[in-house]
Amino acid sequence: MAIQVNLDNRIFLIPEADDPCDFWTSYFAKLRRELGKENAKMIWLITWKTNGSAACTTSPNFNKWLQKNDLDVSNMATRTIADLSEIGGNLFGLGKNLTKILSIGVPVVLGIVLVGIIVLLRNSTKNANVTDLTMLTPAGRGLKLLSK
């Protein structure tokens, strides 16, 4: 829950750690409008140091906003987490597309393989006769050996 501060008849709502990231960005915009860019950066960074939300630093969008406004509040660990979450989002998006492709492609490939096996069996049995069938059994092979 934000803390309300009144300075020179100007009201500022100061965010706390459990406030959403959008509230932090709107707080900076209000500071910038009221106090100028450099003063806003300094006050915002001091507020962040005291009340900053670690959850916001893991958001890729929030980190882009920080970079756009030339605010550096995160350490390497939280930047890495944010980058990994963005990569994960990209992979999940790719996975959704692959799922669609596989749901159609796998049955089509299996159907083609099944048709190929049927054609192969049909062509191999087209000129077969009974003696060919007896050669598949051990007894039939034994008879051929005896007849030689």
- For 101-141, the DSSP string reads HHHHHHHHHHHHHHHHHHHHHHHHHTT--HHHHHTTSHHHH
pLDDT of residue 96: 58
Per-residue confidence in pLDDT tens, the chain, 148 aa = 667 676 677 777 888 888 888 888 898 898 898 888 888 888 888 888 877 777 887 888 888 888 898 887 755 444 555 555 565 555 555 555 666 677 778 888 899 999 999 998 888 777 777 777 777 777 766 665 555 5
Whole-number pLDDT of residue 147 = 57
- pLDDT of 94 reads 56
Model pLDDT, residue 63? 83
What was the pLDDT predicted at 145?
Answer: 54
pTM score of the predicted model: 0.48
CA distances from 103 to 71, 108, 109, 112, 140 (A): 46, 9, 11, 15, 46
Closest C-alpha to 62, from 13, 90, 28, 94: 28
Please tell me the predicted confidence (pLDDT) of residue 97.
61
